[in-house]
Amino acid sequence: MQTRALVIISEVLLASILISPSALASDVGRRFPSEMRKIVDAKTGVTITALTTSPASDDKIYQTHPQWTADGKYIIFRSNRAAEGRTQAFAVNEMTGEIIQVTDGPGTGTGSLNVARKSNKLYFFRGARGEPATLIELNLDPLFADSLAGQLKDPASYERVIMTMPAGLRESGGFSLDADEKVAYIGVRLPSPGGNQGAPQTPRGGSPTGPQAPSGGPATPPRRPPGEPIPQVPSGIRSIDLQTGEL
């Protein structure tokens, strides 16, 4: 009996070694019960369906971007309901109210999520602060299917890394997909000529402000003196081929 117990424990330990650490640590595919509620508007009598009603902070994607998956079943939103309190991307089924977490871990760029309209895919940037960001394509169909079946794989198996931003270029807070969804367009901050992150600004009655950047580093705006226009930095728009990653 003792020998049998040792064999079972050994098999469990071996299995835990073979499972990817990222799969063990990730909440990608985690399911949340429906929070759907019907609310009747007191003025008009119209019935309103609330899809998320938890105390979490839930936000829609930027209003100029698609919100629904291509099959029309899920709405993608961002929320801090993730286990570690970080804001991540989630999908809520419009008919059942069931919620699925679709991203996890640090560095998820939830400020600019792009839902494809021709396929059930989600595009976003991921990267630690101060490091080059990586553009990710997330295939939602297998993720939803595996989540429903309770047979989730390593989160990386649902993703495709399209490209990583080159050193000196920084994503400036927004990107979008072309109509044919073959190209993404991204706003960037360019390397600062001579290493300055913008001309030093002199507040009224004060000394110049505005940090100096390492030569060739991406430009960041210096602090805006009260009452003055927002300082400008070198910037531009770049296209990214979604198949090849060419910038």
Q: In what order do the strands lie in the sheet with 99-101?
A: 31-32, 99-101, 88-93, 74-79, 58-60
Angle CA 116–64–27, to nearest 5? 50
Euclidean distance between the first and the last CA atom of the chain, given in angstroms as a whole number: 63
Q: In the prediction, which pLDDT does 18 show? A: 38
Q: Does the predicted model carry a pTM greater than 0.85?
A: no
CA 165 to chain centre: 16
The pairing of beta strand 99-101 with beta strand 114-115:
unpaired
- Candidates 166, 160, 163, 62; CA nearest to 113 is 62
Domains annotated for the chain, with CATH where assigned, are 22-164 (2.130.10.10), 165-247 (no CATH)
Q: Which two tokens stand for residue 231?
A: 């300082």
Q: pLDDT (tens digit, 0 to 9) for every residue of the chain, 247 residues total?
A: 454 444 443 443 333 333 343 445 789 999 999 999 999 999 999 999 999 999 999 999 988 899 999 999 999 999 999 988 899 999 999 999 999 999 999 999 998 899 999 999 999 999 988 788 999 999 999 999 999 999 999 999 999 999 999 988 888 878 999 999 999 999 998 876 655 443 333 333 333 443 434 444 555 556 777 888 877 778 889 999 999 999 9
Tokens of 171: 């994503």
Q: Are 104 and 79 in contact (CB under 8 A)?
A: no
Q: Which residues contact 117 (CB under 8 A, 6 or more apart)?
A: 66, 70, 181
Per-residue pLDDT, 11: 45
- For residue 208, with 0-12 CB atoms within 10 Å meaning exposed, 13-18 middle and 19 or more buried, which class applies? exposed
φ, ψ of residue 5 to 5 degrees: the values are -65, -40
Neighbouring CB atoms inside 10 A of 12's CB total 10
Residue environment code for 79-98, b if the CB has 16+ CB neighbours within 10 A, otherwise e: bebbeeebbbbbbbbeeebb
Q: What is the pLDDT of residue 67?
A: 96
Is the Cα torsion angle 151, 123, 113, 128 positive or negative in sign?
Answer: positive
